[in-house]
């Protein structure tokens, strides 16, 4: 029986075929058992960056042009205006944009999944999800928001919640709510939508999320990736980048 240090929770864990999962956090470890090479450290890179395959500088804009569908407009302008809590990281798969979670309650917690912005004309920012409540909203008040959507007037300050917990087999369950539990019992003004369906998520309902589901809050679409299908945030982001966009549900009420 092999024992390895879990890449996600850093605990030493026995792993058994065929699942090869950490017994503490259920993180998939088969990739790391098959390759003893240490994963490349995340590095924040400045623009422009040097492509190791070429002798001339390569702009980060050129790299994104190759990976982002042409429907996304003004990508150069967006990249020049990264927000203070957004960073560009590189890995063996290429650069991705990560938005830091500023919630001190999430510090040290195990990453349980990811949301990747996949909206026409918007930067494909990646957010990390953690066990417990993950609040989606607009961070322009004293409230705490984990998924900080700052450029969408249709998003409520506290819009929706993804609640993550483990079952008795240490598998993560992902539930999406728009029930107003953290905003006085009132759901979001403009609704939460799943996979382009035009009916908003009812107040008294919940949705169990599956890998690659698209969540729409306001006009922003975020693709959900779980730890069963993606090894880390880089593979999660790149598995979304070249997929088709889900239909956008029309939002008519600009109030929040």
**Chain segment 124-157, per-residue pLDDT in tens:** 999 999 999 999 999 887 788 999 998 899 999 9
Q: Could you identify the residue written with the tokens 């929706």? A: 160
Q: How far is CA 26 from CA 18, 66, 73, 229, 244, in A?
A: 13, 34, 39, 13, 30
pLDDT bin (cut points 50, 70, 90) of residue 33 is low
- Quick one: pLDDT at residue 185? 83
Q: What's the whole-number average pLDDT of the chain?
A: 81
Percent of the chain at pLDDT > 70 equals 77
Residue 21 per-residue DSSP state: B
At 237-247, the pLDDT tens digits run 999 998 999 99
Domains of the chain: 1-38 (no CATH), 40-241 (2.60.200.20)
pLDDT category at 172 given cuts 50, 70, 90 is very high
* pLDDT, mean of residues 203-212: 93
Q: Is the pLDDT of residue 233 over 60?
A: yes
- pLDDT at 208 (0 to 100): 96
Residues 6+ apart with CB under 8 A from 122: 72, 78, 151, 220
Whole-model pTM? Answer: 0.71
Residue % of the chain over a pLDDT of 90: 44
DSSP state of 40: P
Higher-pLDDT residue of 118 and 170 is: 118
pLDDT at 182 over 90: no
Confidence (pLDDT) at 58: 43
Q: In sequence order, what are the residues at sequence separation of 6 or more whose Cβ sits closer than 8 angstroms to the Cβ of residue 241?
A: 67, 68, 116, 118, 124
């Amino acid at each position: 029986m092999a024992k390895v240090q879990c890449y996600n929770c850093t605990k030493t864990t026995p792993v058994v075929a065929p699942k090869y999962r950490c017994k503490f956090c259920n993180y998939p470890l088969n990739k790391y058992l098959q390759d003893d090479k240490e994963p490349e450290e995340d590095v924040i890179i400045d623009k422009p960056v040097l492509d190791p395959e070429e002798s001339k500088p390569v702009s980060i804009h050129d790299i994104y042009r190759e990976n982002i569908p042409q429907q996304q407009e003004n990508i150069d302008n967006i990249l020049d205006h990264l927000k203070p809590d957004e960073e560009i990281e590189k890995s063996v798969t290429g650069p991705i944009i990560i938005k830091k979670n500023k919630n001190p309650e999430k510090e040290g917690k195990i990453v349980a999944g990811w949301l990747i912005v996949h909206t026409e004309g918007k930067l494909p920012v990646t957010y990390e999800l953690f066990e417990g409540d993950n609040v989606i909203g607009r961070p322009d008040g004293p409230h705490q928001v984990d998924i900080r959507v700052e450029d969408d007037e249709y998003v409520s300050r506290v819009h929706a919640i993804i609640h993550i917990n483990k079952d008795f087999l240490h598998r993560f369950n992902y539930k999406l709510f728009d029930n107003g539990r953290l905003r006085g019992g009132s759901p979001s003004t403009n609704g939460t939508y799943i996979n382009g369906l035009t009916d908003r998520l009812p107040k008294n309902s919940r949705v169990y999320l599956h890998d690659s589901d698209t969540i729409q809050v306001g006009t922003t679409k975020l693709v959900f990736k779980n730890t069963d299908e993606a090894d880390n945030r880089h593979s999660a982001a790149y598995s979304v980048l070249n997929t088709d966009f889900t239909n956008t549900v029309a939002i008519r009420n600009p109030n929040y």
